Amino acid sequence: MHNLAIALKLNGHQISGSDDEIFEPSRARLIKYDLLPTEQGWFPEKISSELDVIILGMHARLDNPELLRARNLGLKIYSYPEFLYEHSKNKKRVVIGGSHGKTTITAMVMHVMKFYKKDFDYLVGSQLKDFEVMVRLSEHAPVMIFEGDEYLSSPIDRRPKFHWYRPQIALLSGIAWDHINVFPSYENYLEQFSTFINLIEEDGVLVYQAQDAELKRLVDETPKKVQKVPYHIPPFYILDGITFLKDGSRDVPLKIFGRHNLTNLSGAQLVCKELGIDSSAFAEAIQSFEGAAKRLELVAQKGRGRLYTDFAHAPSKLKASLLAVKEQFVSQKLVSCFELHTFSSLNKKFLSEYAGAMNAADVAVVYFSPHALKMKRLPPLDKKDVRIAFGRSDLYVFDDSDDMLNWLKQNTNPENIFLMMSSGNFDGLNMNELASELLF
Protein backbone atom coordinates (compact mmCIF):
# COMPACT_ATOMS: atom_id res chain seq x y z
CA MET A 1 0.00 0.00 0.00
CA HIS A 2 2.74 2.50 0.88
CA ASN A 3 4.53 1.70 -2.39
CA LEU A 4 1.33 2.38 -4.33
CA ALA A 5 1.05 5.72 -2.53
CA ILE A 6 4.64 6.57 -3.52
CA ALA A 7 4.08 5.50 -7.14
CA LEU A 8 0.98 7.67 -7.42
CA LYS A 9 2.76 10.66 -5.90
CA LEU A 10 5.63 10.20 -8.37
CA ASN A 11 2.98 10.35 -11.11
CA GLY A 12 1.89 13.78 -9.87
CA HIS A 13 -1.14 12.92 -7.75
CA GLN A 14 -1.90 14.40 -4.34
CA ILE A 15 -1.85 11.51 -1.85
CA SER A 16 -2.78 11.16 1.80
CA GLY A 17 -3.24 8.08 3.95
CA SER A 18 -3.63 6.63 7.42
CA ASP A 19 -2.88 3.51 9.46
CA ASP A 20 -3.01 2.41 13.08
CA GLU A 21 0.57 1.10 13.09
CA ILE A 22 3.42 1.96 10.68
CA PHE A 23 6.62 -0.09 10.81
CA GLU A 24 9.98 0.04 9.08
CA PRO A 25 10.85 0.13 6.25
CA SER A 26 7.46 1.65 5.35
CA ARG A 27 7.89 4.46 7.85
CA ALA A 28 11.26 5.67 6.54
CA ARG A 29 10.09 5.46 2.93
CA LEU A 30 6.93 7.44 3.68
CA ILE A 31 9.06 10.09 5.40
CA LYS A 32 11.37 10.24 2.36
CA TYR A 33 8.43 11.06 0.09
CA ASP A 34 6.71 13.36 2.62
CA LEU A 35 3.75 10.99 2.93
CA LEU A 36 3.97 9.92 6.58
CA PRO A 37 0.77 10.87 8.47
CA THR A 38 1.36 13.36 11.27
CA GLU A 39 -0.48 11.00 13.62
CA GLN A 40 -1.21 7.29 13.62
CA GLY A 41 -4.85 6.33 13.87
CA TRP A 42 -8.16 6.97 12.12
CA PHE A 43 -9.54 10.45 11.45
CA PRO A 44 -12.92 10.35 9.66
CA GLU A 45 -13.04 14.16 9.55
CA LYS A 46 -10.28 14.01 6.90
CA ILE A 47 -12.56 12.09 4.53
CA SER A 48 -14.49 14.57 2.39
CA SER A 49 -16.28 14.77 -0.94
CA GLU A 50 -13.22 16.56 -2.36
CA LEU A 51 -11.35 13.24 -2.54
CA ASP A 52 -11.33 11.63 -6.00
CA VAL A 53 -10.62 8.08 -4.90
CA ILE A 54 -10.20 5.98 -1.76
CA ILE A 55 -7.88 2.97 -2.10
CA LEU A 56 -8.64 0.51 0.66
CA GLY A 57 -6.16 -1.98 2.11
CA MET A 58 -7.15 -5.44 3.28
CA HIS A 59 -6.29 -4.89 6.93
CA ALA A 60 -8.78 -2.08 7.59
CA ARG A 61 -11.80 -3.47 9.38
CA LEU A 62 -15.40 -3.13 8.24
CA ASP A 63 -16.14 -0.79 11.17
CA ASN A 64 -13.17 1.48 10.36
CA PRO A 65 -14.47 5.04 10.94
CA GLU A 66 -12.78 6.43 7.81
CA LEU A 67 -14.27 3.66 5.68
CA LEU A 68 -17.72 4.22 7.17
CA ARG A 69 -17.56 7.94 6.37
CA ALA A 70 -16.31 7.29 2.81
CA ARG A 71 -19.22 4.93 2.20
CA ASN A 72 -21.72 7.38 3.68
CA LEU A 73 -20.42 10.09 1.34
CA GLY A 74 -20.70 7.76 -1.65
CA LEU A 75 -17.02 8.14 -2.58
CA LYS A 76 -15.44 5.84 -5.14
CA ILE A 77 -13.64 3.10 -3.17
CA TYR A 78 -11.18 0.78 -4.89
CA SER A 79 -9.28 -2.16 -3.52
CA TYR A 80 -5.70 -1.83 -4.71
CA PRO A 81 -5.93 -4.83 -7.09
CA GLU A 82 -9.03 -3.31 -8.66
CA PHE A 83 -7.23 0.02 -9.03
CA LEU A 84 -4.24 -1.66 -10.68
CA TYR A 85 -6.46 -3.64 -13.03
CA GLU A 86 -8.18 -0.42 -14.13
CA HIS A 87 -4.74 1.02 -14.88
CA SER A 88 -3.64 -2.04 -16.86
CA LYS A 89 -6.79 -2.89 -18.86
CA ASN A 90 -5.18 -1.95 -22.17
CA LYS A 91 -1.80 -3.56 -21.47
CA LYS A 92 -0.52 -7.12 -21.76
CA ARG A 93 -0.89 -8.50 -18.24
CA VAL A 94 1.53 -11.06 -16.81
CA VAL A 95 0.49 -12.57 -13.47
CA ILE A 96 2.77 -14.73 -11.30
CA GLY A 97 0.76 -16.69 -8.72
CA GLY A 98 1.15 -19.63 -6.38
CA SER A 99 1.48 -20.31 -2.67
CA HIS A 100 5.25 -19.92 -2.73
CA GLY A 101 7.96 -18.50 -4.98
CA LYS A 102 5.81 -15.86 -6.68
CA THR A 103 7.84 -12.88 -5.40
CA THR A 104 11.12 -14.42 -6.56
CA ILE A 105 9.75 -15.41 -9.98
CA THR A 106 8.25 -11.94 -10.47
CA ALA A 107 11.57 -10.40 -9.46
CA MET A 108 13.46 -12.62 -11.92
CA VAL A 109 11.19 -11.63 -14.81
CA MET A 110 11.52 -7.96 -13.88
CA HIS A 111 15.31 -8.23 -13.61
CA VAL A 112 15.61 -9.74 -17.08
CA MET A 113 13.20 -7.21 -18.59
CA LYS A 114 15.17 -4.34 -17.05
CA PHE A 115 18.48 -5.92 -18.19
CA TYR A 116 17.26 -5.62 -21.79
CA LYS A 117 15.73 -2.15 -21.21
CA LYS A 118 12.15 -3.28 -21.83
CA ASP A 119 9.41 -0.86 -20.78
CA PHE A 120 6.94 -2.33 -18.29
CA ASP A 121 4.77 -1.51 -15.29
CA TYR A 122 4.76 -3.80 -12.28
CA LEU A 123 3.55 -4.78 -8.84
CA VAL A 124 5.91 -6.93 -6.73
CA GLY A 125 5.81 -7.90 -3.06
CA SER A 126 9.41 -7.11 -2.11
CA GLN A 127 11.95 -4.37 -2.49
CA LEU A 128 14.28 -5.18 -5.41
CA LYS A 129 17.73 -3.93 -6.21
CA ASP A 130 17.67 -1.22 -8.91
CA PHE A 131 13.93 -0.64 -8.49
CA GLU A 132 12.99 2.47 -6.51
CA VAL A 133 9.52 1.31 -5.52
CA MET A 134 7.55 -1.93 -5.59
CA VAL A 135 4.84 -0.49 -7.86
CA ARG A 136 5.24 1.27 -11.18
CA LEU A 137 2.35 2.81 -13.12
CA SER A 138 2.92 4.57 -16.43
CA GLU A 139 0.85 5.62 -19.41
CA HIS A 140 2.96 4.10 -22.18
CA ALA A 141 4.43 0.76 -20.96
CA PRO A 142 2.85 -2.02 -23.08
CA VAL A 143 3.20 -4.70 -20.37
CA MET A 144 2.32 -4.91 -16.67
CA ILE A 145 3.83 -7.65 -14.49
CA PHE A 146 1.86 -8.57 -11.35
CA GLU A 147 2.78 -10.66 -8.37
CA GLY A 148 -0.59 -12.38 -8.00
CA ASP A 149 -1.43 -12.65 -4.32
CA GLU A 150 -4.32 -14.97 -3.46
CA TYR A 151 -5.23 -13.07 -0.28
CA LEU A 152 -8.49 -11.10 -0.25
CA SER A 153 -8.74 -7.71 -1.94
CA SER A 154 -10.33 -5.62 0.82
CA PRO A 155 -12.85 -5.85 3.68
CA ILE A 156 -15.64 -4.93 1.25
CA ASP A 157 -14.31 -7.00 -1.67
CA ARG A 158 -13.78 -10.58 -0.54
CA ARG A 159 -12.39 -11.98 -3.79
CA PRO A 160 -8.67 -12.90 -3.97
CA LYS A 161 -6.48 -10.16 -5.41
CA PHE A 162 -5.26 -12.23 -8.34
CA HIS A 163 -8.82 -12.80 -9.55
CA TRP A 164 -8.87 -9.17 -10.65
CA TYR A 165 -6.00 -9.22 -13.11
CA ARG A 166 -7.23 -11.50 -15.97
CA PRO A 167 -3.79 -12.23 -17.46
CA GLN A 168 -2.78 -13.04 -21.00
CA ILE A 169 0.33 -14.75 -19.55
CA ALA A 170 0.04 -16.53 -16.20
CA LEU A 171 2.32 -18.66 -14.04
CA LEU A 172 1.42 -20.85 -11.07
CA SER A 173 4.32 -22.01 -8.91
CA GLY A 174 2.56 -24.49 -6.64
CA ILE A 175 -0.23 -24.86 -4.11
CA ALA A 176 0.13 -25.31 -0.35
CA TRP A 177 -2.71 -24.35 2.01
CA ASP A 178 -2.33 -20.89 3.54
CA HIS A 179 -4.45 -18.01 4.89
CA ILE A 180 -6.60 -20.21 7.12
CA ASN A 181 -8.46 -17.11 8.38
CA VAL A 182 -10.13 -16.61 4.98
CA PHE A 183 -9.83 -20.07 3.41
CA PRO A 184 -10.91 -22.39 6.25
CA SER A 185 -10.37 -25.62 4.28
CA TYR A 186 -7.80 -26.81 1.78
CA GLU A 187 -10.58 -27.44 -0.74
CA ASN A 188 -11.76 -23.85 -0.45
CA TYR A 189 -8.17 -22.62 -0.92
CA LEU A 190 -7.77 -24.84 -3.99
CA GLU A 191 -10.92 -23.36 -5.56
CA GLN A 192 -9.25 -19.94 -5.73
CA PHE A 193 -6.56 -21.28 -8.06
CA SER A 194 -9.10 -23.08 -10.24
CA THR A 195 -11.00 -19.80 -10.58
CA PHE A 196 -7.78 -17.96 -11.42
CA ILE A 197 -7.02 -20.39 -14.25
CA ASN A 198 -10.48 -19.85 -15.67
CA LEU A 199 -9.93 -16.08 -15.60
CA ILE A 200 -6.91 -16.25 -17.92
CA GLU A 201 -7.81 -14.52 -21.19
CA GLU A 202 -8.87 -16.73 -24.08
CA ASP A 203 -5.85 -18.04 -26.04
CA GLY A 204 -3.59 -17.01 -23.17
CA VAL A 205 -0.66 -19.00 -21.75
CA LEU A 206 -0.46 -20.81 -18.40
CA VAL A 207 3.04 -21.75 -17.24
CA TYR A 208 2.88 -24.16 -14.30
CA GLN A 209 5.17 -26.10 -12.00
CA ALA A 210 4.66 -29.70 -13.12
CA GLN A 211 6.35 -31.28 -10.09
CA ASP A 212 3.43 -30.15 -7.92
CA ALA A 213 1.01 -33.06 -8.31
CA GLU A 214 -2.01 -31.13 -6.99
CA LEU A 215 -1.38 -28.20 -9.31
CA LYS A 216 -0.82 -30.52 -12.29
CA ARG A 217 -4.14 -32.25 -11.58
CA LEU A 218 -5.90 -28.89 -11.35
CA VAL A 219 -4.40 -27.73 -14.66
CA ASP A 220 -5.27 -31.01 -16.39
CA GLU A 221 -8.89 -30.82 -15.21
CA THR A 222 -9.39 -27.20 -16.25
CA PRO A 223 -11.29 -26.99 -19.56
CA LYS A 224 -10.21 -23.39 -20.20
CA LYS A 225 -8.75 -23.01 -23.71
CA VAL A 226 -5.29 -21.76 -22.89
CA GLN A 227 -1.85 -23.01 -23.83
CA LYS A 228 -0.49 -25.02 -20.88
CA VAL A 229 3.30 -25.02 -20.49
CA PRO A 230 4.89 -27.13 -17.71
CA TYR A 231 8.25 -26.45 -16.07
CA HIS A 232 10.60 -28.47 -13.86
CA ILE A 233 13.85 -28.01 -11.98
CA PRO A 234 16.63 -27.48 -14.56
CA PRO A 235 20.00 -29.30 -14.59
CA PHE A 236 22.49 -27.74 -12.15
CA TYR A 237 25.45 -28.47 -9.91
CA ILE A 238 27.16 -26.86 -6.89
CA LEU A 239 30.91 -26.20 -6.85
CA ASP A 240 32.76 -24.39 -4.06
CA GLY A 241 29.55 -22.87 -2.70
CA ILE A 242 28.39 -21.58 -6.10
CA THR A 243 25.42 -22.99 -8.01
CA PHE A 244 25.84 -23.42 -11.77
CA LEU A 245 22.93 -23.72 -14.20
CA LYS A 246 23.59 -26.09 -17.10
CA ASP A 247 22.31 -24.25 -20.15
CA GLY A 248 23.00 -26.33 -23.24
CA SER A 249 26.74 -26.44 -23.76
CA ARG A 250 27.60 -23.78 -21.17
CA ASP A 251 27.51 -23.60 -17.40
CA VAL A 252 26.02 -20.40 -16.00
CA PRO A 253 27.16 -19.26 -12.51
CA LEU A 254 24.32 -17.95 -10.35
CA LYS A 255 24.15 -15.70 -7.30
CA ILE A 256 21.09 -17.56 -5.99
CA PHE A 257 20.88 -21.14 -4.76
CA GLY A 258 18.43 -23.83 -3.70
CA ARG A 259 16.30 -26.29 -5.66
CA HIS A 260 13.17 -24.16 -5.17
CA ASN A 261 14.97 -21.10 -6.58
CA LEU A 262 16.22 -23.07 -9.57
CA THR A 263 12.69 -24.28 -10.20
CA ASN A 264 11.53 -20.67 -9.93
CA LEU A 265 14.18 -19.74 -12.48
CA SER A 266 12.85 -22.32 -14.91
CA GLY A 267 9.35 -20.82 -14.69
CA ALA A 268 10.66 -17.27 -15.08
CA GLN A 269 12.57 -18.31 -18.20
CA LEU A 270 9.35 -19.55 -19.84
CA VAL A 271 7.49 -16.35 -18.96
CA CYS A 272 10.32 -14.31 -20.47
CA LYS A 273 10.15 -16.47 -23.59
CA GLU A 274 6.49 -15.44 -23.96
CA LEU A 275 7.68 -11.83 -23.70
CA GLY A 276 10.18 -12.27 -26.54
CA ILE A 277 13.38 -13.09 -24.62
CA ASP A 278 14.92 -16.42 -25.64
CA SER A 279 16.65 -18.87 -23.28
CA SER A 280 20.18 -17.80 -24.21
CA ALA A 281 19.42 -14.14 -23.55
CA PHE A 282 17.67 -15.11 -20.31
CA ALA A 283 20.73 -17.05 -19.11
CA GLU A 284 22.94 -14.04 -19.84
CA ALA A 285 20.76 -11.72 -17.77
CA ILE A 286 19.93 -14.02 -14.85
CA GLN A 287 23.60 -14.39 -13.83
CA SER A 288 23.45 -10.98 -12.16
CA PHE A 289 20.17 -11.63 -10.30
CA GLU A 290 20.81 -11.44 -6.56
CA GLY A 291 17.33 -12.31 -5.34
CA ALA A 292 14.51 -10.33 -3.78
CA ALA A 293 14.84 -8.71 -0.37
CA LYS A 294 14.51 -11.21 2.49
CA ARG A 295 14.32 -14.17 0.12
CA LEU A 296 17.42 -16.09 1.28
CA GLU A 297 19.11 -12.70 1.44
CA LEU A 298 22.69 -12.68 2.71
CA VAL A 299 22.93 -10.07 5.47
CA ALA A 300 26.57 -10.63 6.48
CA GLN A 301 29.46 -13.06 6.13
CA LYS A 302 32.55 -13.52 8.28
CA GLY A 303 34.87 -16.37 7.40
CA ARG A 304 32.70 -19.47 7.03
CA GLY A 305 29.84 -17.99 9.06
CA ARG A 306 26.86 -16.37 7.34
CA LEU A 307 23.53 -14.87 8.33
CA TYR A 308 20.57 -14.98 5.93
CA THR A 309 17.06 -13.60 6.21
CA ASP A 310 14.09 -15.20 4.52
CA PHE A 311 10.42 -14.25 4.17
CA ALA A 312 9.32 -17.87 4.66
CA HIS A 313 6.23 -18.28 6.81
CA ALA A 314 4.12 -21.17 5.39
CA PRO A 315 5.24 -24.74 6.17
CA SER A 316 6.21 -25.51 2.57
CA LYS A 317 8.33 -22.34 2.44
CA LEU A 318 10.18 -23.25 5.63
CA LYS A 319 11.01 -26.69 4.27
CA ALA A 320 12.23 -25.36 0.91
CA SER A 321 14.44 -22.65 2.41
CA LEU A 322 15.98 -24.90 5.06
CA LEU A 323 16.75 -27.63 2.54
CA ALA A 324 18.31 -25.08 0.18
CA VAL A 325 20.66 -23.73 2.82
CA LYS A 326 21.53 -27.19 4.15
CA GLU A 327 22.37 -28.46 0.66
CA GLN A 328 24.47 -25.39 -0.14
CA PHE A 329 26.47 -25.55 3.12
CA VAL A 330 26.43 -29.25 3.80
CA SER A 331 29.38 -29.34 6.23
CA GLN A 332 28.24 -26.49 8.51
CA LYS A 333 25.75 -26.32 11.37
CA LEU A 334 22.48 -24.64 10.39
CA VAL A 335 20.80 -22.57 13.12
CA SER A 336 17.31 -21.48 12.08
CA CYS A 337 14.97 -19.05 13.85
CA PHE A 338 11.36 -18.80 12.68
CA GLU A 339 8.79 -16.21 13.79
CA LEU A 340 5.13 -17.17 13.95
CA HIS A 341 3.65 -13.94 12.59
CA THR A 342 0.78 -14.49 10.13
CA PHE A 343 -2.80 -15.16 11.23
CA SER A 344 -2.50 -18.76 10.03
CA SER A 345 0.80 -19.46 11.78
CA LEU A 346 -0.47 -18.04 15.10
CA ASN A 347 -3.70 -20.04 14.91
CA LYS A 348 -3.75 -23.21 17.01
CA LYS A 349 -5.87 -24.96 14.37
CA PHE A 350 -3.12 -24.45 11.77
CA LEU A 351 -0.03 -25.10 13.91
CA SER A 352 -0.04 -28.85 13.22
CA GLU A 353 0.67 -28.05 9.54
CA TYR A 354 4.22 -27.21 10.65
CA ALA A 355 4.98 -30.80 11.69
CA GLY A 356 8.47 -31.60 10.41
CA ALA A 357 8.86 -28.19 8.73
CA MET A 358 12.11 -27.40 10.56
CA ASN A 359 13.66 -30.86 10.60
CA ALA A 360 16.48 -29.85 8.23
CA ALA A 361 17.84 -27.35 10.78
CA ASP A 362 20.53 -28.58 13.17
CA VAL A 363 19.26 -26.09 15.75
CA ALA A 364 15.63 -24.93 15.48
CA VAL A 365 14.17 -21.89 17.25
CA VAL A 366 10.58 -20.57 17.08
CA TYR A 367 9.55 -17.13 18.32
CA PHE A 368 6.12 -15.54 18.66
CA SER A 369 4.98 -12.17 20.01
CA PRO A 370 2.09 -11.93 22.50
CA HIS A 371 1.44 -8.45 21.02
CA ALA A 372 0.92 -9.95 17.54
CA LEU A 373 -1.65 -12.36 18.99
CA LYS A 374 -3.53 -9.44 20.56
CA MET A 375 -3.45 -7.41 17.32
CA LYS A 376 -4.91 -10.38 15.42
CA ARG A 377 -7.44 -11.01 18.21
CA LEU A 378 -6.21 -14.55 18.72
CA PRO A 379 -6.01 -16.47 22.02
CA PRO A 380 -2.61 -16.90 23.73
CA LEU A 381 -0.23 -19.62 22.58
CA ASP A 382 1.48 -22.10 24.88
CA LYS A 383 5.15 -22.84 24.21
CA LYS A 384 4.54 -26.54 24.81
CA ASP A 385 1.83 -26.59 22.12
CA VAL A 386 4.24 -24.99 19.64
CA ARG A 387 6.92 -27.57 20.39
CA ILE A 388 4.46 -30.44 19.94
CA ALA A 389 3.09 -28.98 16.68
CA PHE A 390 6.55 -28.80 15.06
CA GLY A 391 7.30 -32.36 16.14
CA ARG A 392 10.73 -31.56 17.63
CA SER A 393 11.34 -32.20 21.31
CA ASP A 394 14.56 -30.17 21.02
CA LEU A 395 12.78 -27.09 19.60
CA TYR A 396 13.59 -23.87 21.45
CA VAL A 397 10.53 -21.61 21.81
CA PHE A 398 10.62 -17.94 22.89
CA ASP A 399 7.97 -15.25 23.32
CA ASP A 400 10.46 -12.45 24.08
CA SER A 401 12.88 -11.36 21.34
CA ASP A 402 15.52 -10.22 23.84
CA ASP A 403 15.50 -13.67 25.46
CA MET A 404 15.91 -15.26 22.02
CA LEU A 405 18.81 -12.95 21.14
CA ASN A 406 20.60 -13.60 24.44
CA TRP A 407 20.18 -17.35 23.99
CA LEU A 408 21.61 -17.18 20.45
CA LYS A 409 24.67 -15.24 21.61
CA GLN A 410 25.36 -17.73 24.39
CA ASN A 411 24.69 -21.00 22.56
CA THR A 412 25.96 -20.67 19.00
CA ASN A 413 29.20 -20.49 17.07
CA PRO A 414 30.29 -17.69 14.66
CA GLU A 415 31.07 -20.32 12.01
CA ASN A 416 27.44 -21.44 11.88
CA ILE A 417 24.99 -20.63 9.12
CA PHE A 418 22.14 -18.57 10.61
CA LEU A 419 18.77 -18.37 8.88
CA MET A 420 16.18 -15.90 10.23
CA MET A 421 12.73 -16.64 8.77
CA SER A 422 9.69 -14.40 9.15
CA SER A 423 7.08 -12.32 7.35
CA GLY A 424 7.48 -9.88 10.26
CA ASN A 425 10.60 -8.49 11.90
CA PHE A 426 11.08 -10.33 15.22
CA ASP A 427 9.75 -7.26 17.07
CA GLY A 428 12.07 -4.84 15.30
CA LEU A 429 15.24 -6.93 15.49
CA ASN A 430 18.00 -5.23 13.45
CA MET A 431 19.52 -7.95 11.28
CA ASN A 432 22.82 -6.14 10.68
CA GLU A 433 23.28 -5.69 14.43
CA LEU A 434 22.32 -9.33 14.98
CA ALA A 435 24.94 -10.42 12.44
CA SER A 436 27.61 -8.38 14.22
CA GLU A 437 26.63 -10.07 17.50
CA LEU A 438 26.69 -13.61 16.11
CA LEU A 439 29.43 -13.64 13.47
CA PHE A 440 32.10 -11.21 14.67
pLDDT by residue for the chain (440 residues), tens only, comes to 999 999 999 999 999 999 998 988 899 999 999 999 999 999 999 999 999 999 999 889 999 999 999 999 999 999 999 999 999 999 999 999 999 899 999 999 999 999 999 999 999 988 888 898 999 999 999 999 999 999 899 999 999 999 999 999 999 999 988 887 788 898 999 999 999 999 999 999 999 999 999 999 999 998 778 999 999 999 999 988 899 999 888 999 999 999 999 999 999 999 999 999 999 999 999 999 999 888 899 999 999 999 999 988 889 889 989 999 998 998 999 999 999 998 889 998 889 999 999 999 999 999 999 999 998 889 999 999 999 999 999 999 999 999 999 999 998 899 999 999 998 899 989 999 999 999 98
- pLDDT at position 20 is 92
The phi and psi torsions of 241 (rounded to 5 degrees) equal 80, 5
- pLDDT at position 243 is 93
The CATH 3.40.1190.10 portion of the chain extends over 82-286
Per the CB < 8 A criterion, the answer to whether 94 and 271 are in contact is yes
The CATH 3.90.190.20 portion of the chain extends over 297-439
297-439: CATH topology is Protein-Tyrosine Phosphatase; Chain A (3.90.190)
Q: Is 64 helix (H, G, I), strand (E, B) or coil?
A: coil
82-286: CATH topology is UDP-N-acetylmuramoyl-L-alanine:D-glutamate ligase (3.40.1190)
Q: What is the widest separation between alpha-carbon atoms in the chain?
A: 66
- pLDDT at position 180 is 76
Enumerate helices (H) and strands (E) in the chain, giving the number of each.
15, 20
Which residues are CB-neighbours of 43 under 8 A, at least 6 positions away?
A: 18, 66
- pLDDT at position 79 is 96
- pLDDT at position 398 is 97
Q: What angle do CA 386, 399, 41 make, to 5 degrees?
A: 115
What Å distances lie between residue 140 and 10, 87, 195, CA to CA?
A: 15, 11, 30
- pLDDT at position 293 is 82
